[in-house]
Structure 1
Amino acid sequence: MSTSRREVLMLALAGGAALPAMARQAGAGIEGQRTPDLGNGDYLNPVLAGDHPDPSVLKDGDDYWMTHSSFDASPGLLIWHSRDLVNWTPVGPALRRPLGTVFAVDLVKHDGRYFIYIPFMKAAWSAPLASFANIFVIHAPSMHGPWSDPIDLKIGDLIDPGHAVGTDGQRYLFLSGVNRVRLAPDGLSTVGAVEKVYDGWHYPDDWVTEAYALEGPKLFRRGDWHYLVSAVGGTGGPPTGHMVIAARARTLNGPWENCPHNPIVRTWSEAERWWSRGHATCVEGPDGRWFLIYHGYENGYRSLGRQTLLEPIAWSADGWFHATGGDLSNPLPRPRGVAGPHGLAGSDDFSKPAFGTRWSFYGAGPDEVGRARVDRGTLTLAGKGTGPNDCSPLTQVVGDHAYEVIVDCEIEGTAQGGLLLFYNDRLFLGMGIDGTRMTSYRGGKSSYWQEPAPAVRRLHLRIVNERQIVTFYYSRDGKSWTRHGVRSEVSGYNANTMDDLAQLRPALFAAGGGSAHFRDFRYRALD
């Protein structure tokens, strides 16, 4: 199946509806950030707030491991650990050498070894690939690594790998389409040609979706059946598009029988709290109950990207499963597992590097981390490019409706440095200083507004995002703040606007000659 770039990176949501009245706030965790565990035996979605799309989850004894599409972030593929599917602790990045845009991976264990099957979209600087996207694999003896360099499986123009093992021990990758290819016993090469194996379940033609887009196959075995869970409807576009469907077969060779009550999950109305729900992995919880883990957009907060959601399912006597979480706007019983720490602090005193966990470079080249140095409370970032659009800024994922970020920025040489809210290289806003003036950015370009900030080489910068109303501040001493003359409304900073699956996130940048020095980065969730 040949797929265009637009079909691969499906549009997400447009517009800006108000948060429904039934939506409730989760508990406050690190730095006041949203945490799903309510502390009373219940949890409230999302289980990972902010842009954590295309979750792939592995149950490994009492442990659960999860990673997500990291797209243009480098280091990428941050791995998370949990014992209860609700509270998640970051472990570290599995992918340190970027090959391009990374999305919709599959995290698996086979014969005591761990594998991540990864679709890469070509980067401008990467070695030539046979097609616009190729599937690679990395492997490791432990989820803590060390992870191998990526190995090209030479599967072109297909995405969304899903690993499966037949009753005869034969390994396969199922792919968008749904297609399938055999793997060698070590899982590091393919055997034979790609073949079409499943046509999907087709919804009524009058349903409002983005595109049919059969993708995201994830497989598991329960009893005598192999189950194939996949997505249709497009990952964005109209809020009623994306959905979860299921099929089953006695063997991986089929024939595949569609679930009689498809779709398993769908957003039926734009009044619901969670939109475009799909791309699910099915997993048994620590207490024997089963769950779907998938992503969705939060109504009114599509600028936060696709967030990770957890929904219980129930098995019926005929061997099919039903989703039981409703529209996920209300608390649900937490799986009875060990509740560990949850989340990741955004603040950074730059006492040690945090690349691949707290920070990642956007659109990075293979040696990008070499531009950054952390030493005794200072992050020094060498300049690159001409501005935020081409300098590969350092970004971090956030998941709160309201927050502030503050940093002490000092520039050296002919560099410009500053603080941004960054969506992609075409859409961002923030402030940059170069020693002679402040440059204000809005809408992905320098603004006409000439802010009368002092012409200094060191300035404290502050950005407040109050439910998508963004205000800039600056200060000489970090105590007495001047409010920037212009505010911005940023609900339109989302994937339907930009045709790029991402989120609006805090970023530090250094462009031009010289370097920028950053100290005491602080993140704080508001209310």
Structure 2
Amino acid sequence: MAELSRRDAIAALGGGSMAALPAGAPAAATASSGCAAFDKGWRRGFDGQRIADLGDGRFLNPLIGGDRPDPAILQDGADYYMTFSSFDSYPGLTIWHSRDLVNWRPRQPALTRNIGAVWAVSLEKHAGRYFLYIPVKATPNDIYVIWADHIDGPWSDPVSLGLHAHIDPCHAVAEDGSRWLFLSGGDRIRLSDDGLSTVGAVEHVYDPWRYPDDWDVEGFSPEGPKIVHRDGWYYMITAVGGTAGPPTGHMVIVARSRSLHGPWANDPGNPVVRTVSTDERWWSRGHASLVTAPDGSWWSVYHGFENGFWTLGRQVLLDPVRWTADGWFRMTGGDLAKPLPKPKGGQGGVHGQPLSDDFSGPLALGAKWNFFRPGPAERDRVRVERGALVLRGSGTAPVDSSPLLLIAGDQAYAFECDVAIAPGGTAGLVLFYDDKLYCGLGFDEHRFVTHQYGIERGRPANPHGRRMRIRITNTRHIVAIHTSGDGGRTWRRFDRGMEVSGYHHNVRGGFLMLRPGLYAAGEGEARFRDFRFRAL
């Protein structure tokens, strides 16, 4: 891993240079000052963000904060790679890397061309080559494959497999060497030897275990199959119960077979993971994979919603696994509310990345910043120039301007930026779920524009002209906005507060999260300088 810059090292210790918060705003937590009562227990890393590694041989979930759904994990020698559903964010499918299963850093995005909303993928290595099997919601729906000879790419152009009726592929190799994709609904299809096309037709091979009718779930929805081979058994791990909806719905079930070709027998202990009470720390737990740690111990990665924080999306979780005498496995981390012993062995390292950005180097597109639902030439709108992110205007508002967004994984945070616009332009800062549900503040040279509920509302006079500094503070769903006309020396509170606890999937659909970001609309270019993020 490259040596951290002095600035990054300071941020990793909880330091940083965010200007003083407005009067009445919560103080930022640091590595030594402790955390707010709502999220007590985590250590703090870059920009005060919470991190899982407690530094004392234990860790506390989430493994990576914020929207990291449908984790696809690959063990490659001493290295672990993981990626997540990226939906409408592009560049997408950023690969994360770890040596100890607890500390993770982003590397490069694998998918740059918009092929649709990316759902749960399969990340595999076969015969020395890396593969990503990618289901997308598009017109029509499909499953694509891309490949690379190095995990950092370059990755190939997407190849359509023509599978329009299934999601959540999982690559698996049978005892006879044949390659297969297991699919939602208990189905599978054979792959060609090179893994880049299908052979024959989809076949049904497994009837998933069914929960009792009186359980509160979203729907049956058998999906997310993951295959692991151990001690002569193939284990198929499946999610049922629906991904969101009631917190007690999503769950993990298991079946096994001596052959990848079946027959499959359900675990009599199903489900092996399920949220059973809304009092638990993590809701809707499911979509699990198994992996071995450097010391040979077994672990499961899966996702869940944080209690009361659907707005953060599905976060990735790590749960220790124990194998039973009769060859099944059990999760042993309980409801994951308490610290757990870390996996032993492996090389740790710095976790995460700073979200603050002084735009002094190349823009971290994919690894940090993503466009929402970009057009083919969206990348041409943005450049970094003399310490500024320059973003050409598009559309009229966040609804049609493809804003640049970040994933923020803390319950409370503030972000601010200096924004300058051209005549006829509009720009600002947003909290963005999707193009129908967002909030924030923009401005043109004469008036502010208030974004609320995904629509443009009040237009009070703008006293700052074509340049100002804006700060948005999201304190556990209570949003305050401040503006400054003197570069952050003095601040004025904007006369519109907001509450955003309903900006999430169970209200809007889409499986996304509420994300901080920047947008530019109208004429000319907007210049964003000195973007600062701080978890509170």
TM-score, normalization by structure 2: 0.91
| Conservation of the 8 A alpha-carbon contact between 1:92 and 1:356 | yes
Superposed, which structure 2 residues align to 1:343-362 within 5 Å? 343-351=352-360, 352-362=362-372
Partner of 1:331: 339
Task: After TM superposition, give the deviation of residue 413 of structure 1 in Å.
Answer: 3.1
Tell me how far apart the structure 1 counterparts of residues 125 and 393 of structure 2 sit (CA, whole Å). 41
Give the whole-Å Cα distance in 2 for the aligned partners of 1:40 and 1:252: 41
Q: Which amino acid aligns with 1:72?
A: D
Separation in 1, partners of 2:280, 2:116: 35
2:418 maps to 408
| Secondary structure at 1:486 match in 2 | coil
Is residue 2:317 matched to residue 1:309?
Answer: yes
SS of the equivalent of 1:305 reads strand
CA contact (8 A) 1:22 1:329 kept: no
- Once the two structures are superposed, residues 334-353 of structure 1 have per-residue CA deviations (whole angstroms, 9 ceiling, x without a partner) of 01121121101111111221
- For residues 387 and 488 of structure 1, the distance between their equivalents in structure 2, rounded to whole angstroms, comes to 19
- Tell me which residue corresponds to 1:144: 152
Structure 1 counterpart SS, 2:379 = helix
Structure-2 residue corresponding to 1:368: 378
Cα distance, 1:296 vs structure 2: 0.3
Corresponding residue to 1:99 among 115, 119, 122: 115
Is this contact kept in 2: 1:413–1:515, CA < 8 A? no
Contact kept in structure 2, 1:407 and 1:521, CA below 8 Å: yes
Following TM superposition, by how much is the alpha carbon of 1:490 offset from its aligned partner in structure 2, in angstroms?
1.0
Partner of 1:460: 469
SS in 1 for 2:468: strand
Task: Show the counterpart of 1:30.
Answer: 46
Aligned-CA RMSD value = 1.4
The 2-side partners of 1:453 and 1:38 are apart by 46
Q: 2:439 matched to 1:429? A: yes
Q: How does 1:250-289 map to 2 (within 5 A)?
A: 250-289=258-297
2:7 maps to none
Query: How many residues in Structure 1 have an aligned counterpart in Structure 2?
Result: 499
In the other structure, the counterpart of 2:137 is 121
Q: 1:239 to 1:203 in 2, by over 3 A?
A: same
Would you say the 8 A contact 1:23–1:330 is kept in 2? no
Q: CA offsets per residue over residues 339-382 of structure 1, 9 Å max, x none?
A: 12110111111122111111000011122111101112111111
Task: Write the letter of the residue equivalent to 1:223.
Answer: D
Change in 2 beyond 3 A, CA 1:274/1:179: same
What percentage of residue pairs aligned between the two structures are identical?
55
Give the whole-Å Cα distance in 1 for the aligned partners of 2:507 and 2:365.
Answer: 29
- Please name the residue that 1:126 is paired with: none
> What is the CA–CA distance in structure 2 between the aligned matches of 1:160 and 1:498, rounded to whole Å?
22
Report the counterpart of residue 243 of structure 2 in structure 1. 235
Structure 2 partner of 1:7: none
Which residue of the partner structure matches residue 3 of structure 1? none
Q: CA deviation at 1:112?
A: 0.5
| 2:143 maps to amino acid | I
TM superposition shift of 1:388: 0.7
Corresponding residue SS for 1:78: strand
Could you tell me how far 1:25 is from its partner in structure 2? 2.8
Report the secondary structure of 1:422's partner residue: strand
Aligned counterparts of 2:457 and 2:433: Cα–Cα separation in 1: 17
Deviations 1:382-433 (A, max 9, x none): 1111111011000000001111101000011312101011110011111111
1:185 paired to 2:193: yes
SS in 1 for 2:66: coil
Partner of 1:491: 501
* Other structure's SS at 2:516 match: strand
Q: Look up the equivalent residue of 2:382 and give its one-letter code.
A: A
Shift of 1:24: 4.1
Counterpart in the other structure of 2:227:
219
Q: Residue type matched to 1:258 in 2?
A: N
Look up the match of 2:77.
61
Q: Which amino acid aligns with 2:190?
A: R
Q: Where does residue 515 of structure 1 map in the other structure? A: 525
Alpha-carbon distance in 1 for matches of 2:41, 2:392: 40
* Residue 203 (structure 2) pairs with residue 195 (structure 1): yes
Partner of 1:440: 450
Q: Counterpart amino acid of 2:77?
A: G
Q: Which moved more, 1:22-31 or 1:343-352?
A: 22-31
